[in-house]
Structure 1
Amino acid sequence: MTDIFDELQWRGLVAQTTDEAALREALASGPVTVYCGFDPSAPSLHFGNFVQLSVLRRMQQAGHHVICLVGGSTGLIGDPKPDAERVLQDKDTIARSVERIQRLVGPLLDFEGDNAAELVNNLDWTAPLSALDFLRDVGQHFRVNQMIRKEAVARRLESEQGISYTEFSYQILQAMDYLELYRSRRCVLQIGGSDQWGNITAGVDLVHRVEGATVHALATPLLVDSEGRKFGKSEGNAVWLSADMTSPYAFYQYFLNVEDASVVTMLKALTDRTMDEIAELEKQVAEEPYRRTAQRTLAADVTTRVHGADATRSVQAASEALFGKGDLADLTEATLRDATTELAGADVPVGTPVVEALVATGLVESRNAARRVIGEGGASVNNVKVSDVEAVLAEGDFLHGVAAVLKRGRRNLAAARRA
């Protein structure tokens, strides 16, 4: 790699820029200040935000100064959705989300040393601004005919519901962030997802109109699977970075189960693996896909980055133990809970016959099928084969008093959770 821009391109993290040649020159000629904004409309960051944090971290490692902006003011408004008006959240809820996100970002960037990252909240410069000052000093620089061309705005204007002035003003508020950071910190680069391009370029234009300065923008592509679906979504639920919203075990399993066609793309975008390392992993995907070496590497690297090495070791141990390569009794109660929560299962009391537990958890369709599986040696409780069709789940089978892990065959697992 000759510079940071080349690396970002190789890693598939450049979808578009305002002026590639000018941006390359700015990055190569000395440290620049770059920022990315994060929306606190939810109490956690998610997979898509992690992509942006990865770009910020690479920028910081290359010697550039990075700013992580949490939208305490923009979160009160909400970026317009293309299909419906947002339900506005109250100020206390947004404030709590801002605090949680600030804590979450801490381990993901370097906030110490000579080139420490900065964490800012746009409520600090938006709250003191009066409505008249906002309209006179900022609003005059925006043209409505340009604002309505934004895709989400255009779609809402075509709908019966229309769009409120509140949401329509969102792009002005976000543009103000760029102007403020340019004035106070000489920030000359904003990054964000390609779905935010309209808001990002609004800031570029505002800085140019007000200050006469040229600043830059870089959008990352939305990572999608082989069928064009966005990563980070599973049945409508985001993969959160906060452990209390997506457990470290579920987080690890998500990346462990990435399809072969997408794993190399994600290794490039989300890990620090070198070109040679990724080339070797790509070769293994092609020649020995059943080993899932690339997926294991991806899951371990990303989980360690977000949750720490100890959490990764715990979830790896749980993953191995569930499939008979470790002792389930050695798992901590928290890890066991996380792991069994991800399994299909049912609540059953102590003393429940294993035959009935197999049916209740959905591993078999009937008692006769359960007896047949046990008779053929295909059922186990906590990785111990069950040979007696009259066996029951004893007190000690519920590990940590939480759950017993039932298995049919090698790969079919379920959790009998203590009722």
Structure 2
Amino acid sequence: MTNDFFDELQQRGLIAQTSNQAQLRECLAVPQTVYCGFDPTAGSLHIGHLVPLLMLKRFSDAGHKAIALIGGATGMIGDPSFKAAERRLNTTGQVAQWASQLSEQITALMSPHLNQPLSVANNGDWLQQLPLLDFLRDVGKHFSINAMIRKESVRQRLERPEQGISFTEFSYSLLQAYDFAMLNKTHGCTLQIGGNDQWGNIVSGIDLTRRLNGAKVDGLTLPLITKADGTKFGKTESGTIWLDASKTSPYRFYQFWLNTDDKDVYRLLAYYTFLSCDQIAQIAEQDRTAPGKPSAQGILAGHVTRFVHGSEGLASAQRITHALFSGGITALSLSELQQLALDGLPCVTVQKEMSIVDALVTSQLAPSKSKARALLQANAIRINGEQIADGYLLEHFALFDRYWILQRGNKHFCLLSLQTVTQ
């Protein structure tokens, strides 16, 4: 094994900070055990978690052993790093449920893509069994309050007198540090990776592992992924882009990547795909010289959607995209229409006796009835891909006896869902 792996990570821009670069490069020349932590703050991970998950695969592909650590215990507190205010504490049952869901999700997501199994651990297995006095004596004595309050993430909170920081959140860094020491002791773990907001916690873990185990370990952080305008990547007007298909449909997921800005797409290809840097440079050069729309967004959307939702999920997302923008709406399956109902299109509930004019106003495809009539007269309205002039919904076939796709022009859609009568 060579240092080519470390050099590739640098070339991709995936390394923000390292504890000891020379030592880390030397260590990575032979198989190591690396871990990354994921606190259960919801029942699914989102695209912000995807880069560290992909990083674990990169390490695994390079011959290292990868561990995903679920924060069943630390999730009870919540990491205060660079948060403007105190987190709301979730119930024990809720955190346990989310921890179980994340464990299952990570296993299901990563297993098809790895040559060797990914280990999934839960820090509740040791932290919830640790007596308080033992923790204070054996762990707490190694931490200086003076040093802890100088950490940037803590200092920012202390400078907000209306918020401050509780002892509960202040202790989070000690718990994460103990995780590193425990994984080093039980699994021979020598490297922790995480977002660059985790740097202070990682450094604490390196120091505690040295003190408790007499072991030299390292830390590596990933860069904060921002868009060209400086805003955080992944934040959208419609909300979080989840990895769970029941929270963000494969179609919506695919469209998110398809709409990546030209200024960001080649950097995101380096972060989110396993295309080589040379291949990405070639794509960029072809897009620069070839006429028409760049190909990079479609390549990015295809690679990431296939990784998260599989070939079937990608094919479904592409079928929906083709059907909406190139015709063939009636060929959509029920599950694909349900994706559109979840988050793919604006969706309103209607009654089949509703007139097309009223449907246009209800769906906000027309601001008024007079404008709706004008659009119909101008042949600008379609239902399920067919041009219409007027009438009522019941005069048009409902897909699976429930849905109509109402369309204004080429780009504006609304999914109409038949109101069901409950007994």
TM-score relative to the length of structure 2:
0.92
Q: 2:96 is matched by which residue type in structure 1? A: A
Q: Give the conservation status (yes or no) of the 8 Å contact 1:53–1:108.
A: no
Number of residue pairs aligned between Structure 1 and Structure 2: 415
Q: 1:311 is matched by which residue type in structure 2? A: G
Which residue of the partner structure matches residue 210 of structure 2?
208
Q: Which of 244, 248, 261 is matched with 1:242 structurally?
A: 244
Q: 1:393 is matched by which residue type in structure 2? A: L
| Larger displacement relative to structure 2 (238-247 or 366-375) | 366-375
CA distance in 2, matches of 1:232, 1:368: 39
Which residue of the partner structure matches residue 135 of structure 2?
134
Q: Secondary structure at the match of 1:310?
A: helix
CA distance in 2, matches of 1:130, 1:401: 60
Q: Secondary structure at the match of 1:50?
A: helix
Q: Which of 156, 170, 173 is matched with 1:168 structurally?
A: 170
Q: Deviations over 1:352-408 (max 9, x none)?
A: 22222222212222233222222222221111112x2x3221265332233211222
Q: Secondary structure at the match of 2:190?
A: strand
Q: Secondary structure at the match of 2:15?
A: coil
1:290–1:414 Cα change, 3 Å: farther
CA positional deviation for 1:281:
2.3
Q: Deviations over 1:126-168 (max 9, x none)?
A: 1111001000011011111111122332222232332211111
Which residue of the partner structure matches residue 296 of structure 1?
298
Q: Give the conservation status (yes or no) of the 8 Å contact 2:61–2:114.
A: no
Which residue of the partner structure matches residue 333 of structure 1?
334
CA positional deviation for 1:219:
0.4
CA distance in 1, matches of 2:362, 2:150: 55
CA distance in 1, matches of 2:292, 2:114: 44
Q: Which of 228, 232, 235 is matched with 1:233 structurally?
A: 235
CA positional deviation for 1:330:
2.2
Q: Give the conservation status (yes or no) of the 8 Å contact 1:122–1:177.
A: yes
CA distance in 1, matches of 2:401, 2:395: 8
CA positional deviation for 1:276:
3.5
Which residue of the partner structure matches residue 358 of structure 2?
356
Q: Give the conservation status (yes or no) of the 8 Å contact 1:102–1:119.
A: yes
| Larger displacement relative to structure 2 (284-293 or 314-323) | 284-293
| Larger displacement relative to structure 2 (299-308 or 57-66) | 299-308
Q: 2:367 is matched by which residue type in structure 1? A: E
Q: Deviations over 1:16-58 (max 9, x none)?
A: 1111121111111x10110000011211111111110000001
1:236–1:186 Cα change, 3 Å: farther
Which residue of the partner structure matches residue 183 of structure 1?
185
CA distance in 1, matches of 2:354, 2:368: 15
| Larger displacement relative to structure 2 (82-91 or 130-139) | 82-91
Q: 2:206 is matched by which residue type in structure 1? A: V
Q: Give the conservation status (yes or no) of the 8 Å contact 1:45–1:241.
A: yes
CA distance in 1, matches of 2:113, 2:57: 13
Which residue of the partner structure matches residue 24 of structure 2?
23
Q: Give the conservation status (yes or no) of the 8 Å contact 1:208–1:215.
A: yes
| Larger displacement relative to structure 2 (117-126 or 232-241) | 232-241
Q: Deviations over 1:290-326 (max 9, x none)?
A: 534211111121111111111111111011101134x
Q: Give the conservation status (yes or no) of the 8 Å contact 1:248–1:303.
A: yes
CA distance in 1, matches of 2:355, 2:294: 36
1:261–1:144 Cα change, 3 Å: same
| Larger displacement relative to structure 2 (288-297 or 120-129) | 288-297
1:31–1:411 Cα change, 3 Å: same
CA distance in 2, matches of 1:303, 1:235: 20
CA distance in 1, matches of 2:385, 2:416: 13
Paired-residue identity, %: 43
Please, which runs of 5 or more residues in structure 2 have no aligned partner? none
Q: Deviations over 1:247-296 (max 9, x none)?
A: 22211111111111111111111111223432232134434585342111
1:66–1:373 Cα change, 3 Å: same
The 5-angstrom pairing of residues 3-402 of structure 1 reads 3-28=4-29, 30-80=30-80, 82-110=83-111, 115-158=116-159, 159-235=161-237, 237-287=239-289, 291-325=293-327, 327-340=328-341, 341-386=343-388, 388=389, 390-394=390-394, 396-402=396-402
Q: Secondary structure at the match of 2:326?
A: coil
1:281–1:107 Cα change, 3 Å: farther
Q: Deviations over 1:195-231 (max 9, x none)?
A: 1111111101111222332211110011111111111
CA positional deviation for 1:237:
2.8
Q: Secondary structure at the match of 1:308?
A: helix
Q: Secondary structure at the match of 2:192?
A: strand
| Larger displacement relative to structure 2 (54-63 or 89-98) | 89-98
CA distance in 1, matches of 2:234, 2:113: 30
1:398–1:288 Cα change, 3 Å: farther
Q: Secondary structure at the match of 1:56?
A: helix
Q: Give the conservation status (yes or no) of the 8 Å contact 2:340–2:415.
A: no
| Larger displacement relative to structure 2 (352-361 or 89-98) | 352-361
Q: Give the conservation status (yes or no) of the 8 Å contact 1:174–1:199.
A: yes
